[in-house]
Structure 1
Amino acid sequence: MDMSELIDPFARLIEDICTPAAIREIEQGGDTAAMWKAFLESGFLDALVAEESGGAGLSLSDAASLIALLGRHAVPLPVGDTMVARALLAAAGVEAPEGPIAIATGAGAAPFAAVATHILSGAPDAPVVTPANVEPTGVPHDGGAYVSGLDGKALRPIAAALRALLISGAAERVMEMTVAYANERVQFGKPIGKQQAVQQQLSVLAEQAVAARIAAAIGARAGLRPKLVDAAIAKHGTSLAAGQIAAIAHAVHGAIGISEEYDLQLLTRRLHGWRLADGSEGYWAGVLGELRMAEPAKPTADFIRGA
């Protein structure tokens, strides 16, 4: 299948319904029904569901570009979570609810849980879906929430791969916005992007955005049941990049970047949220270290190649 046949209409759908104004309205407690109905009726929520179960049968690697688009456009609903959840539920023979489903793994606040009707926990082979009973984080405009009483630790690798893809999409958009701003913002008679110090920072930002995309691809390559080492590489790499990308973007933009009216903060807030969700870079660095030390006789180069 030519993936552009899926990517292009999905991008148009998001651009039509997820405008910055619509995102802000939902973040301020507005109704999510119309936006969710558009995603539900589009059929994209079943992109990862097997064909024999009525879905498109895409692998996570095939759908990576679709999920990255959700991050790029700061979609304020758990569309990626629901795509994964519906696929896991279908494979287990469990009927999925029509409403938005957030994945909760017990590692910090669950992204999108505050705007979900259901929560997915359990394990990839034994998923459990329950009505959302959540506690808000207390952070203004935050769609995440704390979920207690559910065991979703076994879902942490697939959730980590999902967050990595969202980060990669947001990172690319932040890079584009920052480069454009640096080329347009004039100080002392020339664009600030002509200054060597700013150029150096933009180079680092671009490097980290590419690193995030590569790391996210590693997490997606094995599908809905990623190897633990792949998930660790993906989430560690993208979370590490997320912090640097957000910091550089705000440094280049200056005060305008944190203003509520400017769209950059819609993305950088999500970069920080997804960075911490389902295990931060520190958590996944520990997982990688444990995996490495479990094979002390293997040369490190072979461990890396095997990953």
Structure 2
Amino acid sequence: MFTEAIEAILRDHVTPEAIRAIEKGGAPSLVWNALEEAGFLALLTPESAGGAGLSLPAIAPVFTALGRYAMPVPFAQSIAARALLRDTDGAVPAGMTTLAGTCRRHQDGALEASHVPFGMRCDHVLANVDGELVLLDAGAAERTACGVHGSASGMLSWRPAAVPASLAANGEAVLLFSAAIHAAAIAGAMDRVFGMTLQYCNDRSQFGKSIGKFQAVQHQLSVMAQHVAAAGIASELAFSGEGIVPGGLATAIAKARTSMAVPLVASTAHALHGAIGVTAEYDLQLYTRRLHEWRMADGSEAFWNRMVGNAVLTQQHTTIADFARTAPYDAAA
């Protein structure tokens, strides 16, 4: 129900034209206000506190839908931030809040966070600082854009005087939630990219028939479809737990698998589209650029595969198949 309602808003407000306008410096308020005024920021807030009280499995399709539309504002991160702040004494801030899974503290007490999603556009940053949960004012930060075309990510740094006290000791939850959100976003964007590619191959004719009927093209589409399907299943795994934070092992598997699929899916999509696929006027690049950005966010597959590998070596399972079948769910429970 919530996913359909949100997608209806996304279809109207998060169009390719709106994304391009925001990338060029336009105000994101139209997109943000449409979702905020509908009350969707409180999807993970308990019903007793006026929210929808959704579980992690129920919120997963929402996060995937946001990726499918290449959401240009930190809406998913703001929903997660409210969930992480609800058991602390910190007030839920108004405006756009993003997540910084890793924030480095200097010897003088200053903080620095690199590659913060929507760091150039957000109002607040909920950060993991040495395992502590810290809510930072983005307006008090020195912001440096990442330099990638159209990206809102950036490096943010705060002077010691602008760093507040920590709110709780669950800072690691920020990294897990942020990685899980990016896994879902990758799955959603991949689904959109595959749909565009399949449609193009069916519509584009060569030698009297659509190129989608050529065996070589069908082979590439089938491989692409396998990775898209696997990414979708993996992203759902990250949100399979019963708690309010995605499980560590399940998130590691999800982020590793979705990130691993990005280079193949993006390159195949551009190859099958041919010359038109690399033009700025064509919408494909709006999604493939974000796939590459989200692949690196919170660590690429190399980072998360290391975590999965350590779990395989330390946990007692008869076979690797038993590990894959049971360990992620045991850890999420």
TM bin, normalised by shorter chain, reads over 0.9
- Using the TM superposition, give the Cα deviation of residue 75 of structure 1 relative to its aligned residue in structure 2, in angstroms: 1.1
Query: For 1:109, what is the secondary structure of its paired residue?
Result: strand
The worse-fitting range, judged by mean Cα deviation, of 292-301 and 48-57 is 292-301
The answer as to 2:292 corresponding to 1:291 is no
The answer as to 2:251 corresponding to 1:231 is yes
Query: For 2:127, what is the secondary structure of its paired residue?
Result: strand
Q: Encode CA deviations 1:54-112: one digit per residue, 9 max, x unaligned.
A: 21100121011111111101110011001100111123242212211111112851222
1:12-51 correspondence runs (5 A) = 12-51=8-47
- 1:159 is aligned, of 164, 167, 178, to 178
1:79-98 correspondence runs (5 A) = 79-98=75-94
Number of corresponding residues: 302
CA change 1:86–1:154 in 2 (3 A) is closer
Q: Encode CA deviations 1:205-236: one digit per residue, 9 max, x unaligned.
A: 11111001100010011153222110111000
* Preserved contact between residue 104 and residue 110 of structure 1 (Cα < 8 Å): yes
Instruction: Give the distance between the partners of 1:279 and 1:108, measured in 2 at CA.
Output: 12
Alignment correspondent of 2:271: 251
Root mean square deviation of aligned Cα:
2.0
Q: Which amino acid aligns with 1:228?
A: G
The percent identity for this pair of structures is 42
- Using the TM superposition, give the Cα deviation of residue 240 of structure 1 relative to its aligned residue in structure 2, in angstroms: 0.9
Which structure has the larger Rg? 2
- 1:139 is aligned, of 130, 148, 154, to 148
Alignment correspondent of 1:100: 96
- Using the TM superposition, give the Cα deviation of residue 126 of structure 1 relative to its aligned residue in structure 2, in angstroms: 6.1
CA change 1:246–1:126 in 2 (3 A) is same
Instruction: Give the distance between the partners of 1:54 and 1:232, measured in 2 at CA.
Output: 32
Q: Encode CA deviations 1:107-158: one digit per residue, 9 max, x unaligned.
A: 85122221111111138x9632211123210112111112346895552122
Query: For 1:91, what is the secondary structure of its paired residue?
Result: coil
* Preserved contact between residue 48 and residue 57 of structure 1 (Cα < 8 Å): yes
CA change 1:80–1:87 in 2 (3 A) is same
Instruction: Give the distance between the partners of 2:98 and 2:67, measured in 1 at CA.
Output: 15
Alignment correspondent of 1:55: 51
1:126-275 correspondence runs (5 A) = 127-132=133-138, 133=141, 134-148=143-157, 153-222=172-241, 223-275=243-295
Q: Which runs of 5+ in 2 are unaligned?
A: 103-112, 329-333
* Preserved contact between residue 104 and residue 147 of structure 1 (Cα < 8 Å): no
* Preserved contact between residue 173 and residue 245 of structure 2 (Cα < 8 Å): no
Instruction: Give the distance between the partners of 1:102 and 1:174, measured in 2 at CA.
Output: 25
Query: For 1:114, what is the secondary structure of its paired residue?
Result: coil
Query: For 1:130, what is the secondary structure of its paired residue?
Result: strand
- Using the TM superposition, give the Cα deviation of residue 245 of structure 1 relative to its aligned residue in structure 2, in angstroms: 1.0
CA change 1:295–1:66 in 2 (3 A) is closer
Instruction: Give the distance between the partners of 1:297 and 1:272, measured in 2 at CA.
Output: 34
